[in-house]
């Protein structure tokens, strides 16, 4: 992906300015270049045969009738791949089971062999000249299945006698994790004046990207990287990770696989890491020695793209007489689906717990988590990845504690906040916060939302027959993926362009614009002279874009790389001007010898170099993660006659450190909040417990938030508390809105019910708060 721009005046287009997204013009004009837009000569189309059963033994696969159909080029089965030595995909590692043995997962094959374990698992790959021919042939592949007992519910999966997904885990527990001090927590609860208990469900949801997963693979027989090299164009957030995994599965050297990423129509964490389909399409291209493309259908995305959340928890809070928190106790079951992926387990058993105590000074914890195998699609990253689940539990507990103790919920938060003078602060999970002024952020959020004016608004709602509620969430999140190294290349070219390559990746979040602004900051040139290149493993490799790391690692690397380039150019300019480097000054694309009129332009200098450029390959490291935080406040109206909930106001104050592009940051915050509102009110991926079939497997059944459901956001950023772990002072922002929205909205609904005399219902609220659910709850009251 390349982005260049046509504007000048560095002061107007550097950091702190709301520069319009450079990527948008070509997208709005229909000139974007997504994987599906690339059609090489001789391209064939791929379709997958998928299991209709949640658990079954594959008795046989008969491909002969399908192979006789017009246009069919190849049909590949799991048995074929096993015979060819294609390896299974990486599973969970680094975790243990209760007996101390290594974590367990069934082997996740590229194409199912011998057993299928969820509805939608790929069983065969069909490649034909046209998509229609491939679809017809896929329907003609006959798979003889022997149904096996299945289980999709976590409680049933962990019950004695449940059907086991893996022999090494007869209890279906892939891994367990314990954090904290059980004895100390028990003692704290024993002496507590108040205890609060909640059953909390973070339901399973799906990342609905505008662009589905798309893969185009081409074999390159003439590559200088070795015979059998494969080039994969695809929609992904992490091209290097996919490259490495495809190479490992196919038994290739990493240099024999190239991954190219153009425009990406949304990722939300779902497009991190490798999928079975990626490897299968690459195999098909190598087999046929011609381009093979697969574009996932929406139904396939519901069935087979990794899902998010699905955590059932019992949460307890112990408080002293004055409301000071003494201890937090959690017990959770995390549904990781049919195959326990590394990310799927880590998100719930480690990453979520890292932020579980959030902005509160909680001395003692006792956390017990189990990753449960079920006959469902595997779970993995989805925007927030563990932090929304943890913060939702914490903020629901805080509001229920305020309700049950009679302490004002703002006052309760205020007396439990970690204070600025405690920074750097190590939480009970051993995570160190570098900065945080949580009380200040809350006070600014309260003012932004006109907290004290709520009663008048509630009275107006009451006159209209509506119940109005006010909800708050004060919280933080961890960003970075704990991968702090990043590489960039900077090329100052004689034609007046500065080209920067980074291994972070665009997926609709405006990263190319923000990186270009950082280049403008460093070089002082017009933004039209900046070209940002992303998404090509032949140009450079790195972790990619996940965990809200793109700016604080990738952006920091761009700044450091640019500074190193200028330092290198200064040495070259000193030789040209016959001056000492320390006597040179740089500004706005020119080197000047101090106190003289001797000078040389940066691009003229590049033109005098043997390669007509000044090139820098720079690798740098930031010091640690960032801890963005916020206060999000929502107001809802409930129609008691229908149970319909409307979010009528939403205000958020967000501490995201230094802001490079306020417009882009606001877009990320508000877009994330809409996804959090979607989980709170309508989104729910449901499996039928009797058949294992996906009930909400299309937009006919899976409810998404619409534009009309989004309130008029009042979104502000506090930029006075820079992060200390990176040279830019920025904090990750891409997931903050999603994390704050769900608890703010659900707390607002609970507040509305309590004000209407239904305080006994507040502990029974579970997402999604759909009209039917809420109406039934009110009728029962």
Residue 664: pLDDT above 90? yes
Q: For residue range 69-79, what is the model confidence (pLDDT) as tens digits? A: 999 999 999 99
- With cut-offs at 50, 70 and 90, classify the pLDDT of residue 547: confident
User: Tokens 């948008």, residue?
Assistant: 24
**31 phi and psi angles, rounded to 5 deg:** -105, 15
Q: Which segments within 510-570 are labelled E, that is strand?
A: 530-534
SS3 category, 445: helix
- With cut-offs at 50, 70 and 90, classify the pLDDT of residue 15: confident
Please state whether the peptide bond connecting residue 768 to the residue before it is cis, i.e. omega within 30 degrees of 0. Answer: yes
DSSP state of 420: G
Look at residue 223 in the predicted model and tell me its pLDDT.
65
Q: Cα–Cα distance between 380 and 275 in angstroms, integer?
A: 11
Range of the domain at 603: 2-32+481-621
Look at residue 6 in the predicted model and tell me its pLDDT.
43
Residue 179 tokens read as: 């954090």
Same domain, 474 and 491: no
Residue 335: pLDDT above 80? yes
**Residue range 720-729: average pLDDT?**
95
Handedness of CA 529, 532, 536, 541 (dihedral sign): positive
Look at residue 5 in the predicted model and tell me its pLDDT.
43
- Select from 136, 151, 166 the last residue of a domain: 151
Same domain, 505 and 611: yes
Whether 239 maps to a domain, the answer reads: no
* Strand partners of residue 426: 432
Look at residue 480 in the predicted model and tell me its pLDDT.
84
Counting the structural domains of the chain, the total is 3
**Residue range 542-549: average pLDDT?**
89
* Strand partners of residue 179: 367
Q: For residue range 80-134, what is the model confidence (pLDDT) as tens digits? A: 999 999 999 999 999 999 999 999 999 999 999 999 999 999 999 999 999 999 9
CATH of the domain at 596: 3.30.365.10
Please give the C-alpha separations between residue 347 and each of 304, 379, 382, 534, in angstroms, as whole numbers: 19, 10, 10, 27
- Are 48 and 124 a contacting pair, CB within 8 Å? yes
Same domain, 610 and 681: no
Residue 399: pLDDT above 70? yes
Same domain, 580 and 490: yes
Q: For residue range 201-217, what is the model confidence (pLDDT) as tens digits? A: 999 999 999 999 999 99
**CA-closest candidate to residue 540, choices 560, 565, 558:** 558
Exposed (0-12), middle (13-18) or buried (19+): which is 583, by Cβ within 10 Å? middle
Look at residue 7 in the predicted model and tell me its pLDDT.
46
SS3 category, 599: strand
pTM over cut 0.75: yes
Count, residues in the chain: 781
- Are 631 and 474 a contacting pair, CB within 8 Å? yes
Please give the C-alpha separations between residue 150 and each of 110, 379, 562, 692, in angstroms, as whole numbers: 21, 18, 56, 7
Q: For residue range 743-757, what is the model confidence (pLDDT) as tens digits? A: 999 999 999 999 999
Whether 159 maps to a domain, the answer reads: no
**23 or 391, greater pLDDT:** 391
Query: How large is the C-alpha radius of gyration of the chain?
Result: 27
Whether 133 maps to a domain, the answer reads: yes
Same domain, 458 and 566: no
Whether 678 maps to a domain, the answer reads: yes
Q: What is the dihedral of CA 30, 32, 36, 39, to 10 degrees?
A: 90
Same domain, 647 and 745: yes
**Residue range 410-432: average pLDDT?**
98
Look at residue 781 in the predicted model and tell me its pLDDT.
72
Same domain, 494 and 616: yes
Q: Cα–Cα distance between 224 and 229 in angstroms, integer?
A: 9
Same domain, 652 and 542: no
Q: Cα–Cα distance between 387 and 410 in angstroms, integer?
A: 22
Same domain, 643 and 562: no
Q: For residue range 568-601, what is the model confidence (pLDDT) as tens digits? A: 999 999 999 999 999 999 999 999 999 999 999 9
* Sequence-ordered list of residues with C-beta below 8 angstroms from that of 396, at least 6 positions apart, any chain: 198, 200, 315, 743, 746, 747, 750
Count the helices and strands in the chain (H runs, E runs). Answer: 22, 29
Please give the C-alpha separations between residue 29 and each of 25, 209, 634, in angstroms, as whole numbers: 6, 20, 36
Residue 9: pLDDT above 70? no
CATH of the domain at 57: 3.90.1170.50
Q: Cα–Cα distance between 463 and 97 in angstroms, integer?
A: 57
**18 or 628, greater pLDDT:** 628
- Select from 569, 589, 621 the last residue of a domain: 621
Q: Cα–Cα distance between 174 and 159 in angstroms, integer?
A: 14
Q: What is the mean pLDDT of the chain?
A: 96
**CA-closest candidate to residue 740, choices 638, 670, 681:** 670
Residue 221: pLDDT above 90? no
Strands 214-220 and 292-295: antiparallel
Whether 616 maps to a domain, the answer reads: yes
Look at residue 780 in the predicted model and tell me its pLDDT.
86
| Angle of the 409-416 helix axis to the 438-448 helix axis, nearest 10 | 160
SS3 category, 342: helix
- With cut-offs at 50, 70 and 90, classify the pLDDT of residue 11: low
Same domain, 110 and 90: yes
Q: Which segments within 538-626 are labelled E, that is strand?
A: 584-587, 590-593, 599-601, 613-621
Q: For residue range 492-528, what is the model confidence (pLDDT) as tens digits? A: 999 999 999 999 999 989 999 999 999 999 999 999 9
- Select from 151, 180, 195 the last residue of a domain: 151
Look at residue 167 in the predicted model and tell me its pLDDT.
95
- Are 215 and 411 a contacting pair, CB within 8 Å? no
Residue 583 tokens read as: 């006597």
Report the percentage of the chain scoring pLDDT > 90: 93
Look at residue 10 in the predicted model and tell me its pLDDT.
61
Same domain, 614 and 631: no
Q: Cα–Cα distance between 355 and 352 in angstroms, integer?
A: 6
Whether 363 maps to a domain, the answer reads: no
Whether 645 maps to a domain, the answer reads: yes
**CA-closest candidate to residue 508, choices 265, 673, 235, 209:** 265
**436 phi and psi angles, rounded to 5 deg:** 165, 120
Q: Cα–Cα distance between 558 and 562 in angstroms, integer?
A: 6
HSE, CB side, 13 Å, CA atoms: give it for residue 274.
27
Look at residue 109 in the predicted model and tell me its pLDDT.
98
Same domain, 657 and 530: no
CB atoms near residue 96 (< 10 Å)? 14
Whether 323 maps to a domain, the answer reads: no
């Amino acid at each position: 992906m390349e982005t260049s721009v046509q504007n000048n005046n560095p002061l107007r287009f550097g950091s702190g300015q709301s520069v319009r997204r450079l990527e948008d013009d070509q997208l709005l004009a229909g000139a974007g270049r997504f994987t599906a837009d690339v059609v090489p000569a001789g391209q064939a189309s791929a379709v997958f045969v998928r299991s209709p059963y949640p658990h079954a033994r594959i008795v046989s696969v008969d491909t002969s009738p399908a192979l006789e159909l017009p246009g069919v080029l190849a049909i590949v089965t799991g048995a074929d791949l096993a015979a060819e030595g294609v390896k299974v995909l990486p599973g969970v590692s680094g975790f243990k089971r209760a007996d101390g043995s290594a974590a367990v997962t069934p082997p996740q094959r590229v194409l199912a062999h011998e057993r299928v374990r969820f509805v939608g698992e790929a069983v065969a790959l069909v490649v034909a000249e046209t998509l229609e021919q491939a679809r017809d042939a896929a329907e003609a592949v006959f798979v003889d299945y022997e149904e096996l007992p299945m289980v999709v519910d976590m409680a049933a999966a962990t019950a004695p006698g449940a059907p086991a997904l893996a022999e090494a885990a007869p209890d279906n527990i892939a891994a367990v994790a314990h954090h904290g001090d059980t004895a100390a927590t028990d003692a704290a609860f024993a002496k507590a004046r108040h205890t609060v208990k909640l059953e909390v469900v973070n339901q399973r949801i799906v990342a609905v990207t505008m662009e589905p997963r798309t893969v185009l693979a081409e074999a390159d027989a003439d590559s200088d990287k070795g015979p059998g090299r494969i080039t994969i164009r695809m929609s992904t957030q992490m091209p290097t990770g996919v490259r490495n995994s495809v190479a490992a599965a196919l038994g290739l050297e990493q240099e024999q696989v190239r991954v190219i990423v153009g425009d990406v129509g949304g990722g939300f964490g779902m497009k991190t890491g490798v999928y079975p389909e990626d490897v299968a399409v690459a195999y098909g291209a190598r087999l046929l020695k011609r381009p093979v493309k697969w574009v996932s259908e929406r139904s396939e995305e519901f069935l087979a793209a990794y899902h998010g959340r699905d955590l059932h928890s019992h949460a307890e809070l112990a408080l002293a007489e004055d409301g000071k928190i003494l201890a937090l106790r959690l017990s959770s079951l995390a549904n990781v689906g049919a195959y326990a992926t590394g990310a799927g387990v880590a998100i719930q058993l480690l990453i979520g717990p890292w932020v579980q105590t959030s902005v509160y000074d909680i001395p003692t914890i006792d956390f017990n988590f189990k990753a449960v195998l079920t006959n469902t699609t595997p779970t993995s990253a989805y925007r927030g990845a563990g932090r929304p689940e943890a913060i939702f539990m914490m903020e629901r507990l805080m509001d229920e504690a305020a309700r049950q103790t009679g302490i004002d919920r703002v006052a309760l938060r205020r007396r439990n906040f970690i204070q600025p003078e405690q920074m750097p602060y190590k939480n009970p999970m051993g995570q160190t916060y570098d900065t945080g002024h949580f009380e200040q952020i809350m006070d600014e959020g309260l003012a932004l939302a006109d907290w004290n004016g709520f009663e008048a608004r509630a009275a107006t709602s009451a006159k209209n027959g509506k119940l109005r509620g006010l909800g708050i969430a004060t919280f933080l999140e961890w960003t970075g993926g704990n991968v702090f190294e990043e590489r960039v290349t900077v090329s100052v070219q004689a034609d007046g362009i500065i080209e920067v390559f980074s291994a972070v990746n665009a997926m609709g979040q405006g990263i190319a614009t923000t990186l270009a602004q950082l280049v403008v900051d460093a070089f002082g040139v017009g933004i039209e002279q900046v070209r940002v290149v992303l998404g090509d493993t032949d140009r450079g490799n790195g972790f990619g874009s996940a965990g809200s790391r793109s700016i604080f690692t990738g952006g920091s690397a761009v700044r450091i790389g640019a500074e190193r380039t200028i330092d290198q150019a200064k040495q070259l300019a000193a030789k040209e001007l016959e001056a000492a480097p320390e006597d040179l000054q740089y500004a706005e694309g020119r080197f000047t010898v101090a106190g003289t009129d001797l000078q040389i332009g940066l691009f003229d200098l590049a033109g005098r170099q043997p390669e007509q450029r000044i090139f820098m390959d720079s690798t740098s490291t930031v010091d640690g993660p960032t801890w963005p935080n916020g206060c999000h406040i929502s107001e809802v109206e409930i129609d008691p006659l229908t149970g319909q909930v409307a979010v009528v106001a939403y205000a958020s104050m967000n501490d995201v450190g230094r802001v490079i592009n306020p417009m882009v940051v606001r877009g990320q915050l508000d877009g994330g909040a809409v996804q959090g509102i979607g989980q709170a009110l309508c989104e729910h991926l449901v499996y039928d417990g009797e058949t294992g079939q996906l009930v909400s497997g299309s937009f006919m059944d899976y409810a998404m938030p619409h534009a009309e459901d989004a309130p008029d956001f009042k979104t502000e950023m506090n930029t006075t508390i820079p992060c200390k772990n990176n040279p830019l002072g920025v904090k990750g922002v891409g997931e903050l809105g999603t994390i704050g929205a769900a608890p703010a909205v659900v707390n607002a609904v609970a507040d509305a019910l309590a004000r209407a005399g239904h305080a006994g219902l507040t502990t029974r609220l579970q997402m999604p708060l759909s009209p039917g659910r809420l109406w039934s709850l009110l009728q029962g009251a």
